[in-house]
Amino acid sequence: MPSSKASQAKSLNALTPAYDSILELAPYQTGKPVEELTREYGVFDVVKLASNENPMGCSPKVTLAITEQLGELARYPDGNGYYLKQALSDFTNISIDCITLGNGSNDLLDILARSFVGSKDAIVYSQYGFVVYSMLAKMQGATGIEVPAQRFGHDLKAMRQAVADNANTKIVFIANPNNPTGTLLQSAELYDFVASVPSSVLVVLDEAYIEYSPESNNRALLDEFDNVVIVRTFSKAYGLAGLRVGYALSSPAVADLLNRIRQPFNVSRVGLAAAAAALADQSFISEVRQTNAGQMRWLEKQFDALGLAFIKSSANFIMVQIEEAAVINQALLEQGVIVRPLIGYGLEDWLRVTVGVAEENTRLIDTLKSILNAE
């Protein structure tokens, strides 16, 4: 999390970064890898519920698509990702020239910031919004404007005011559902928000978890507003986090700009083929959604029984309130269960838990019970 001070940065001697704010950045904190826990604590039977990955893996159809590429690895991928874009165009009912592919959706968030935000500009995002937005402001030497959250979610009225108060705002980032809180905005609220901000402000809807809330559909915004971008990923419900594929939907003019900024081969040959196969298997996504919903209900019941408060989530993770979260997190790690502490978000009393499959969730709850009882 970006909490380190400039004084903690290594000395660059005579060198200086492009912006002082880069020195305030701390590397993005990823969920602890399983191998690291095994190395550190000697635990082998590890359950990782820390990075909102899909515990069911990916569609079996992806394996064949990947295998077909293995003889072609000496060749660069299609730099335009034609077949994946064609499939996405059919899937989202948008013209192919409105699509930009990314090395994960994080790549697209980065490309968006680099394309539109200079050091005199501002980026608006919510308190408890996905941490990468504030990092992007620092990377661009721009002003990051964090708007206080409302019941852990986006306060769109306050965000609209922040845009009105800061004429240099270039991008508003909105994660829907939001990570780490799992909150979801109603489409009507989002429509009103987009309609109320100047057309010179890009509204980026980060829909990394949208497959888990199919009732939310904001795709129509793109038909009406040229300043809306929707960013999605194959890392979550599609189960391809290890391959790094994401996409952005926008006006053709914005896509044209993003495609100039992105690296020529930013999605690998294997990634392109795997994503197209994953997209074609929507019955797998339905199964994932159903399993997640059932397991989410089960976890909610367990938290209720343990007297732990949680935030109702529209994604594949849930935030649970727990006293001395850092101590509990450490005890969970020592017993081979990886969840995500949220200190970097200023949520010291909360842990974020990815919804696993039944066996993993049972292990989490059993371990949690034993820790809480032992206290």
Chain residues binding ligand PLP by CB under 6 A are 52, 104-106, 130, 175, 179, 206, 208, 233, 235, 241, 246
Q: Is the CB of 248 or the CB of 365 nearer to ligand PLP? A: 248
Q: Is the CB of 106 or the CB of 295 nearer to ligand PLP? A: 106
Q: Is the CB of 43 or the CB of 241 nearer to ligand PLP? A: 241
Least separation in angstroms between CB 361 and ligand PLP: 20
Sequence-separated (6 or more) residues with CB below 8 Å from residue 368 = 306, 328, 332
Q: Is the CB of 235 or the CB of 335 nearer to ligand PLP? A: 235
Least separation in angstroms between CB 204 and ligand PLP: 10
Least separation in angstroms between CB 208 and ligand PLP: 4
Q: Locate tokens 């989490």: which residue?
A: 364
Least separation in angstroms between CB 212 and ligand PLP: 12
Query: Which residue in the shown chain puts its C-beta closest to ligand PLP?
Result: 104
Least separation in angstroms between CB 15 and ligand PLP: 29
SS (H, E, C) the chain: CCCCCHHHCCCCCCCCCCCHHHHHCCCCCCCCCHHHHHHHHCCCCCEECCCCCCCCCCCCHHHHHHHHHHHHCCCCCCCCCHHHHHHHHHHHCCCHHHEEEECCHHHHHHHHHHHHCCCCCEEEEECCCCCHHHHHHHHCCCEEEEECCECCECCHHHHHHHHHHCCCEEEEEEECCCCCCCCCCCHHHHHHHHHHCCCCCEEEEECCCHHHCCCCCCCCHHHHCCCEEEEEECCCCCCCCCCCCEEEECCHHHHHHHHHHCCCCCCCHHHHHHHHHHHHCHHHHHHHHHHHHHHHHHHHHHHHHCCCCEECCCCCEEEEECCCHHHHHHHHHHCCEECEEEHHHCEEEEEEEECCCHHHHHHHHHHHHHHHHHC
Q: CA–CA distance from 175 to each of 103, 131, 207, 227, 357 (Å)?
A: 18, 10, 6, 16, 25
Least separation in angstroms between CB 109 and ligand PLP: 6
Angle between helices 82-92 and 269-280 in degrees, nearest 10: 30
Q: Is the CB of 55 or the CB of 246 nearer to ligand PLP? A: 246
Least separation in angstroms between CB 7 and ligand PLP: 29
Q: Is the CB of 179 or the CB of 291 nearer to ligand PLP? A: 179
Q: Is the CB of 204 or the CB of 277 nearer to ligand PLP? A: 204
Q: Is the CB of 143 or the CB of 233 nearer to ligand PLP? A: 233
Least separation in angstroms between CB 65 and ligand PLP: 19
Least separation in angstroms between CB 162 and ligand PLP: 20
Q: Is the CB of 352 or the CB of 363 nearer to ligand PLP? A: 352
